[in-house]
Structure 1
Amino acid sequence: MDLIQDYIDEFIFNCESRNLADGTIKRYKKMLKLFKDFLDSKKIDEIEKIKALHIRNFLIAQKQKGRKESYINTHLKVIRAFFVFLNEEEYLEVNPTEKVKFFKENKVIIKTFTDDEVLKMIEVADEVKYRKIKKPRSFSKYKSARNKLIIMLLADTAMRVNELCNIKNDDINKDRILIRKGKNNKERMVYLSTPILLQLMKYKRVKEKHFKNIVTEDYLLINKVGDKMTVDAVQILIRKIGKEANIDKRCSPHTFRHYSAQALLKNGVDTYSVSRILGHTSTRITEVYLRSMMTDEVLTHTRNKSPLSLIKRKR
């Protein structure tokens, strides 16, 4: 009988019952499996035998494999969440992770997209127009409209990829989208700009025509057979479009999130409002998204915002 695995299974079940995000649960499973494999290699088969030293050795082993400090710290957060659960359920009296410190992380600066690169990807996403297909099939028209909408939504709303995939048709109300399953299961509203609304109208027309005689799931973005688009499918799509557009950067939905956050700040939106738009619980999290802004960009943004200049204008 594998007692440690039983505890892990119960922890995962508890996470699922709390409606944690699919990506979070997937990460918990993956990282706890790695930790369990390490414990097996050390012949540790009882939860009470796990000490702080074992956890430290596991983290050091990850470091020796070339893992980044941020990745290792995520491991520790997952293991800590697991032991907090065991402690709360009174399976353990002592939480060994309390004596384990996080690794010091280097501040990572994510190189985000330029405006021109975003426009290029929007252009490439509209495959029918970009490739000048004269007589496109019904699905080609649908795919082009859908892919263009995906890029535009990611660039303009800063929503997370799982939030994008979870949008249902009824979540859209005039010029806004209700994000129902955000991080930590918090709801928020996302504003839709005029360019998005125009593309959305086009997309809905093409979608309705293509799936006229096909039963589909009740999601905004669906695949060829009418099923909800998955996070993996969107990530693969973004990489493909980025490659086609010759973008020499990490092309992912999260890079669009960084682009959108920085663009909002450059356009005069305050950090608190950007934080609310992103669905962050603290502006400290939002500040991570703004690290890669160059000094000259910050200076340009603040040039016309000096206190004395504004005072003179008011007089």
Structure 2
Amino acid sequence: MSSMSWTSFITDFEHFLRLERGLSVNTISNYKYDIKRLVTFLEKSNTKLVSPIDITEATIQEFVYKISKELKSRTQARIISGLRIFFDYLIFENYRDTNPVDQIESPRLGLKLPDTLSVKDIDTIISVIDLNYQFRGVNLGHRNKAIVECLYSCGLRVSELTGLKISDLFFDEGFIKVSGKGNKERFVPIGKNTQYLINIWLDIRKHIDIAQESKDILFLNYKGNKLTRAMIFTIIKKLVNKSGLQKTISPHTFRHSFATHLLENGADLRAIQLMLGHESITTTEIYTHIDKSQLNKVINTFHPRK
């Protein structure tokens, strides 16, 4: 039996996810957070904090019962999945022979359709951007407009946007190189209008005192440092509030809208999959949701008995 602490196991698991599985920092953080939630439960329970080597299915069931009272089904399912992967790792490393999560059922999840914006909604959000907005002498209005256009016209995840490099821009060819989940790279088309807005920002960017580690990063804050995920969320939230739209909108909403609008206008699902960087086309298929008016339009246009 190992004398390793939970912290040691979690640290080794983190290294495994990063080096062997090639997962992103955000995904690894979610796994660690879920395991630490289990540790907190064990610490607060009346029983002694047991090693992950000795933990039983009964204990996992107690933990799942507790979180079922506190969390939404989707969050519960993610935690159970994360714990199952953690204990599979312990088996892989010969710390355990069985996985105490194998027989634990995840809650049933209904199909969650992504929120989308209409083209009019997106135009409304872009229209409220103040192109003269400056902070500490740096014009950030043009940067913010380029960010929104990039999210929508390229369908990027937030982490992909913040990590986008100047050396990833291939405007002559009409593409950008995107580093997605697991550091998997893909090339995504970029339109002339978005290129134009990025070029305006690049001219402004030249006058910023840029931190050495951010020299190649495209979107920066006024201090010359890489933008955080939280800052992108803040930018979008302020624009949505200013626009007056009564919708829950995040940076990811622009990615959903990108895929939905392409599909509604006749784009091939496989092409959308490649642009989004989905490993499986079943993930992309969620965008095949179409409202009733669109279905009626399809029938009236294409069916011989319309």
Q: Is the 8 A contact 1:158 1:260 kept in 2?
A: yes
| Residue among 74, 79, 97 paired with 2:78 | 74
1:22-54 Cα deviation digits (max 9, x unpaired): 111221121111111112223232223312222
Matched residue, 1:37: 40
Q: Is the 8 A contact 2:80 2:106 kept in 1?
A: yes
Matched residue, 1:23: 26
Q: Is the 8 A contact 1:73 1:102 kept in 2?
A: yes
CA distance in 1, matches of 2:269, 2:163: 26
The SS at the match of 1:125 is: coil
Higher helix share goes to which structure? 1
CA distance in 2, matches of 1:48, 1:219: 43
The answer for unaligned runs of 5 or more in structure 1 is: 310-315
Is residue 2:104 matched to residue 1:100?
Answer: yes
The answer for unaligned runs of 5 or more in structure 2 is: none
For 1:264, the aligned partner's letter is L
Report how far residue 127 of structure 1 moved.
4.0
| Residue among 47, 55, 66 paired with 1:50 | 55
Matched residue, 1:272: 270
Report how far residue 230 of structure 1 moved.
1.1
CA distance in 1, matches of 2:299, 2:278: 24
* Superposition misfits of 4+ residues, deviation over 6 angstroms: none
Matched residue, 2:202: 204
Report how far residue 199 of structure 1 moved.
1.0
1:2-29 Cα deviation digits (max 9, x unpaired): 6233212211122233442111122112
Q: Is the 8 A contact 1:69 1:106 kept in 2?
A: no
CA distance in 2, matches of 1:94, 1:137: 57
The SS at the match of 1:249 is: coil
Is residue 2:6 matched to residue 1:8?
Answer: no
Percent identity for Structure 1 against Structure 2 = 26
For 2:145, the aligned partner's letter is K
1:47-78 Cα deviation digits (max 9, x unpaired): 2331222222212211201x211111100111
Matched residue, 1:155: 152
Matched residue, 2:164: 167
CA distance in 1, matches of 2:287, 2:237: 21
Q: Is the 8 A contact 2:211 2:225 kept in 1?
A: no
